[in-house]
């Protein structure tokens, strides 16, 4: 599984840099949560730390994805890591000086989360640039191994350091971890690309949202992630209280519990190639959901460290296999032009489920207790898992998502400005009567293609005087967005959809471009 991508020097160096950053982030989480675990209303403070860590992703992931699709991804990541180095260093210094209140800790946690909100979609979008497409599932599994190695090593080390030296040292090591990732980025020489037509920030955001809106495959992936992460987040948000109040453990014991999660996740990563061969995505969803729910029930009912460790190993395995499978599906499906924006939406759903879950389960645990919170989360997990019968996953991973520039360059007598619009594109298809029903079915895929790549409206009409004539009409907001369809947004899957429609017609359609009436000559 791991030989292919890790044999790539660039991927290996970046993977190690991300591992260092992830280890630091998990050490930061342990230090921050343990810093407030002795405060009054500890359940609320601990869950707030988790929620504030994820909140920036909800607010900033979409803008970050648009930036990552338009700017040089290497330079963007490098600048963010240097900024995080400064923020984490300041947090360490203030904590060492005993000037860190719980409220101020939340502010610094939010700032660090903001940096991660930019880092996550940008890093995911970089992976297909450094490994070939056939290695993307393995690279995605390695990403999960990376995260869970960090979950295994980071918390265990942080627990020991907090117990011996205090949270300030942990925060300082987190600052150094960003420096390691920055060095890895400096060593990467990203190939220079030809000049591309830059999209404006607002239209780029709207284009990304349109792509997700008209991609049923992406929407279904996001739904499955939300149904799993929302109840699953109870472990991450309340585990400090399970360690301290439920099991009577200290910081080192808390680190061991988090390490158990990481060990289970690494085991799951090692099993992923076999899982992909022998289990369909829907069967995997059911198996992971059932295993995680059983683990939650055991954690909620049995107050014994050995049982808790075993349940957390199972939970980590289930978490990794499902999240890694969904991540790989996104990697394989999203085309390059919108990959960072698509992953930004994924991160919003993922982090939103964790943040909402952290708040909900924290509020449930406060008055009702840890047992009630974990049993309620198990019930929600089981209910969400059962919906796979009616809401199965549709990934179509065999479709061609590579770029395809097959539209001819438009030759107009008028020369519109790039921001001029809307632009109406009209395509006249000639279809024999015997193929009309099949043509209408084929045009449904064409409709999704047009909407995903920029059209705000799409309609198909039939000529009343010449019934064999079908007129396809769609609106694109600006001339620049229509040129983007010509120059990079279309994929092999889009080309195949048009070819399927053309095979039922008498060739490709006659296309005309209609501009606003006041367009300059």
The whole-number pLDDT of residue 520 equals 62
Phi/psi region, residue 166 (left: phi>0; alpha: psi -120 to 50; beta: rest), is: left
Q: Residue 430 pairs with which residues in a beta bridge?
A: 469
Q: Which of 166, 312, 179, 130 is nearest to 239 (CA)?
A: 312
The whole-number pLDDT of residue 275 equals 82
For residue 66, CA distances in Å to 61, 114, 136, 336, 357 come to 9, 15, 22, 12, 27
**How many residues appear in the chain?**
521
Per DSSP, 98 falls in state T
Task: Report which secondary-structure segment, H or E, holds 246.
Answer: none
In this predicted structure, which of 34-43, 243-252, 301-310 has the lowest mean pLDDT? 34-43
Angle at 361 between CA 357 and CA 365, to 5 degrees: 170
List the strands of the sheet with 510-514, edge to edge.
Answer: 457-462, 469-476, 423-430, 510-514
Residue 275 has phi, psi (to 5 degrees) of: -60, -45
Q: Which of 447, 449, 448 is nearest to 459 (CA)?
A: 447
**Long-range own/partner contacts, residues 95-103 (CB < 8 A, 24 or more apart):** 95/35, 95/166, 95/167, 95/168, 95/171, 96/166, 96/168, 96/172, 100/35, 102/35, 102/36, 102/39, 102/45
User: How many angstroms separate the CA atoms of 126 and 124, rounded?
Assistant: 5
Per-residue model confidence as pLDDT tens digits over 426-440: 999 999 999 999 999
**Calculated CA dihedral for residues 146, 117, 55, 267, nearest 10 degrees:** -10
Per-residue model confidence as pLDDT tens digits over 29-61: 778 877 776 666 666 777 777 678 777 877 887
The whole-number pLDDT of residue 16 equals 86
Cα 168 off chain centre by: 31
Per-residue model confidence as pLDDT tens digits over 59-85: 887 888 888 877 778 888 899 999 999
Identical fold for domains 3-189+203-389 and 423-514, yes or no, is no
**Long-range own/partner contacts, residues 335-339 (CB < 8 A, 24 or more apart):** 335/401, 335/402, 335/403, 335/489, 335/491, 336/125, 336/128, 336/403, 337/69, 337/403, 337/484, 337/488, 337/489, 338/69, 338/207, 338/208, 338/211, 338/489, 339/69, 339/124, 339/125, 339/128
- Is 320 within 8 Å of 20 (Cβ atoms)? no
The whole-number pLDDT of residue 101 equals 81
Q: Which of 271, 274, 270, 262 is nearest to 313 (CA)?
A: 262
Angle at 201 between CA 199 and CA 206, to 5 degrees: 90
pLDDT band at 467 (very low <50, low <70, confident <90, very high): very high
Residues 6+ apart with CB under 8 A from 397: 329, 332, 333
Tokens linked to 505: 């017609």
User: How many angstroms separate the CA atoms of 100 and 114, rounded?
Assistant: 19
Q: At what angle do helices 136-165 and 251-278 cross, to 10 degrees?
A: 170
User: How many angstroms separate the CA atoms of 117 and 61, rounded?
Assistant: 5
In this predicted structure, which of 40-54, 402-416, 491-505 has the lowest mean pLDDT? 40-54
The mean pLDDT value for 185-201 works out to 68
End-to-end alpha-carbon separation of the chain, Å?
A: 59
The whole-number pLDDT of residue 195 equals 44
- Is 476 within 8 Å of 427 (Cβ atoms)? no
Residues 6+ apart with CB under 8 A from 483: 197, 418
The whole-number pLDDT of residue 56 equals 82
Where is pLDDT greater, at 179 or 41? 179
Where is pLDDT greater, at 114 or 45? 114
Kindly report the pTM of this predicted structure.
0.79
Tokens linked to 415: 């020369």
Let me know if domain 3-189+203-389 sits in CATH 3.30.9.10.
no
Residues 6+ apart with CB under 8 A from 178: 21, 24, 81, 82, 84, 85, 88
pLDDT band at 412 (very low <50, low <70, confident <90, very high): confident
Question: Domain boundaries in the chain?
Answer: 3-189+203-389, 423-514
The mean pLDDT value for 307-333 works out to 88
Where is pLDDT greater, at 459 or 92? 459
- Say yes or no to pLDDT of 420 above 50: yes
- Say yes or no to pLDDT of 255 above 80: no
How high does pLDDT run on average in the chain?
Answer: 85
Topology annotation, domain 423-514: Alpha-Beta Plaits (3.30.70)
The whole-number pLDDT of residue 43 equals 67
pLDDT band at 1 (very low <50, low <70, confident <90, very high): very low
The whole-number pLDDT of residue 39 equals 65
The whole-number pLDDT of residue 329 equals 84
Where is pLDDT greater, at 231 or 332? 231
Q: Residue 428 pairs with which residues in a beta bridge?
A: 471, 510
Where is pLDDT greater, at 282 or 163? 282
- Say yes or no to pLDDT of 380 above 60: yes
Cα 417 off chain centre by: 35
- Say yes or no to pLDDT of 391 above 60: yes
pLDDT band at 2 (very low <50, low <70, confident <90, very high): very low
- Say yes or no to pLDDT of 141 above 70: no
- Say yes or no to pLDDT of 151 above 70: no
């Amino acid at each position: 599984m791991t030989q292919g991508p890790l044999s790539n020097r660039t991927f290996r160096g970046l993977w190690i840099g991300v591992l260092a950053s992830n280890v630091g982030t998990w050490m930061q989480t342990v230090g921050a949560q343990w810093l407030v675990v002795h405060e009054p209303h500890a359940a609320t403070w601990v869950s707030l730390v988790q929620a504030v860590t994820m909140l920036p992703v909800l607010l900033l992931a979409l803008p970050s994805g648009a930036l990552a699709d338009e700017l040089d991804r290497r330079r963007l990541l490098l600048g963010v890591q240097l900024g995080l180095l400064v923020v984490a260093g300041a947090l360490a210094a203030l904590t060492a000086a005993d000037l860190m209140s719980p409220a101020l800790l939340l502010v610094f946690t939010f700032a660090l989360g903001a940096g991660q909100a930019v880092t996550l979609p940008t890093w995911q979008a970089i992976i297909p640039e450094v490994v070939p497409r056939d290695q993307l599932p393995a690279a995605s599994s390695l990403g999960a191994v990376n995260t869970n190695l960090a979950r295994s090593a980071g918390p265990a080390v942080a627990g020991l350091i907090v117990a011996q030296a205090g949270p300030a040292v942990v925060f300082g090591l987190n600052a150094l971890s960003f420096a390691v990732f920055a060095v890895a980025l400096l060593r990467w020489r990203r190939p220079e690309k030809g000049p591309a037509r830059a999209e404006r920030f607002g239209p780029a955001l709207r284009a990304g949202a349109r792509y997700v809106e008209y991609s049923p495959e992406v929407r279904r992936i996001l739904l499955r992630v939300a149904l799993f992460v929302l109840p699953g987040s109870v472990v991450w948000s309340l585990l400090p209280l399970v360690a301290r109040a439920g099991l009577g453990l200290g910081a080192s014991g808390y680190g061991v519990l988090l390490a158990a999660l990481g060990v289970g996740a690494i085991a799951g990563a090692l099993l992923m190639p076999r899982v992909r061969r022998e289990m369909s995505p829907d069967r995997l969803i059911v198996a992971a959901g059932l295993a995680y729910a059983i683990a939650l029930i055991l954690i909620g009912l049995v107050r014994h460290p050995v049982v808790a460790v075993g349940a957390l190993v199972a939970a980590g395995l289930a978490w990794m296999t499902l999240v890694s499978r969904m991540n790989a599906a996104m990697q394989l499906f999203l085309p390059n032009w919108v990959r960072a924006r698509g992953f930004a939406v994924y991160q919003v759903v993922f982090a939103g489920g964790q943040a909402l879950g952290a708040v909900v389960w924290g509020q449930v645990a406060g008055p009702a207790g840890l047992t009630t919170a974990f049993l309620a989360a198990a019930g929600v997990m089981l209910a969400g898992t059962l919906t796979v019968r009616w809401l199965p996953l549709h990934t179509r991973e065999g479709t061609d998502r590579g770029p395809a520039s097959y539209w001819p360059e438009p030759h107009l007598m008028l020369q519109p400005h790039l921001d001029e619009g809307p632009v109406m594109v009209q395509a006249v298809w000639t279809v024999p009567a015997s193929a009309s029903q099949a043509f209408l079915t084929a045009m449904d895929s064409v409709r999704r293609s047009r909407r995903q790549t920029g059209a705000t409206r799409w309609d198909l009409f039939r000529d009343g005087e010449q019934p064999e004539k079908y007129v396809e009409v769609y609106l694109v907001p600006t001339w620049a967005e229509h040129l983007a369809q010509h120059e990079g947004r279309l994929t092999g899957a889009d080309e195949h959809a048009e070819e399927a429609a053309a095979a039922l017609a008498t060739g490709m359609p006659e296309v005309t471009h209609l501009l606003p009436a006041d367009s300059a000559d």
